[in-house]
Amino acid sequence: MAHDDDADPEESAGDGPGPIPESDPQHIDPAGDLADAVKGGDLDLSLAGDQDGEDLQAFVDAAESGELGPVNPGLEA
Protein backbone atom coordinates (compact mmCIF):
# COMPACT_ATOMS: atom_id res chain seq x y z
CA MET A 1 0.00 0.00 0.00
CA ALA A 2 1.46 3.36 -1.02
CA HIS A 3 1.98 6.09 1.54
CA ASP A 4 1.64 9.76 0.56
CA ASP A 5 4.52 11.55 2.29
CA ASP A 6 3.25 14.88 0.96
CA ALA A 7 0.02 14.70 2.97
CA ASP A 8 -0.41 17.54 5.43
CA PRO A 9 -0.82 15.99 8.91
CA GLU A 10 -3.32 18.67 9.96
CA GLU A 11 -5.32 18.17 6.79
CA SER A 12 -5.39 14.38 7.09
CA ALA A 13 -6.39 14.58 10.77
CA GLY A 14 -9.73 16.15 9.82
CA ASP A 15 -11.96 18.38 11.86
CA GLY A 16 -12.92 15.76 14.46
CA PRO A 17 -14.78 16.54 17.65
CA GLY A 18 -13.28 18.99 20.09
CA PRO A 19 -11.72 18.03 23.38
CA ILE A 20 -13.81 16.27 26.02
CA PRO A 21 -15.03 18.82 28.58
CA GLU A 22 -13.66 16.89 31.57
CA SER A 23 -10.83 17.54 33.98
CA ASP A 24 -9.18 14.34 32.72
CA PRO A 25 -9.66 13.93 28.96
CA GLN A 26 -8.17 10.40 29.11
CA HIS A 27 -11.05 9.24 31.34
CA ILE A 28 -14.04 8.27 29.23
CA ASP A 29 -17.18 7.61 31.28
CA PRO A 30 -20.34 7.86 29.15
CA ALA A 31 -22.58 6.54 31.95
CA GLY A 32 -21.20 9.16 34.34
CA ASP A 33 -21.59 11.90 31.73
CA LEU A 34 -25.21 10.85 31.19
CA ALA A 35 -25.89 10.82 34.94
CA ASP A 36 -24.34 14.30 35.27
CA ALA A 37 -26.55 15.59 32.44
CA VAL A 38 -29.69 14.21 34.10
CA LYS A 39 -28.75 15.49 37.57
CA GLY A 40 -27.78 18.88 36.15
CA GLY A 41 -31.12 19.27 34.40
CA ASP A 42 -29.58 19.26 30.91
CA LEU A 43 -31.46 16.06 30.06
CA ASP A 44 -34.96 15.21 31.22
CA LEU A 45 -35.60 11.49 31.65
CA SER A 46 -38.25 9.50 33.43
CA LEU A 47 -38.60 5.84 34.31
CA ALA A 48 -41.27 3.67 32.75
CA GLY A 49 -44.40 3.26 34.84
CA ASP A 50 -43.46 -0.29 35.85
CA GLN A 51 -39.92 0.60 37.00
CA ASP A 52 -38.81 1.70 40.44
CA GLY A 53 -36.08 4.30 40.97
CA GLU A 54 -34.97 2.74 44.25
CA ASP A 55 -34.53 -0.66 42.56
CA LEU A 56 -32.48 0.95 39.81
CA GLN A 57 -30.29 2.77 42.35
CA ALA A 58 -29.80 -0.48 44.31
CA PHE A 59 -28.70 -2.23 41.10
CA VAL A 60 -26.22 0.54 40.23
CA ASP A 61 -24.83 0.53 43.78
CA ALA A 62 -24.42 -3.26 43.71
CA ALA A 63 -22.68 -3.15 40.33
CA GLU A 64 -20.31 -0.38 41.43
CA SER A 65 -19.44 -2.16 44.69
CA GLY A 66 -18.61 -5.46 42.97
CA GLU A 67 -21.54 -7.43 44.40
CA LEU A 68 -22.48 -8.56 40.89
CA GLY A 69 -19.00 -9.78 39.99
CA PRO A 70 -15.41 -8.63 39.86
CA VAL A 71 -14.88 -4.89 39.48
CA ASN A 72 -12.84 -3.87 36.44
CA PRO A 73 -11.80 -0.20 36.80
CA GLY A 74 -10.96 -0.08 33.08
CA LEU A 75 -14.52 -1.02 32.18
CA GLU A 76 -16.73 1.47 33.98
CA ALA A 77 -19.67 1.92 31.67
Please give the Cα distance from 60 to 4 (Å, whole number): 49
Does pLDDT of 6 surpass 70?
Answer: no
Does pLDDT of 3 surpass 60?
Answer: no
pLDDT score recorded for residue 65: 77
- Contact status, residue 38 vs residue 45, Cβ threshold 8 Å: yes
Tens digit of each residue's pLDDT (9 = 90 or more) over 30-66: 777 777 788 888 888 888 999 888 888 888 788 777 7
Please give the Cα distance from 50 to 56 (Å, whole number): 12
Please give the Cα distance from 34 to 43 (Å, whole number): 8
| Domain layout of the chain by residue ranges | 29-77
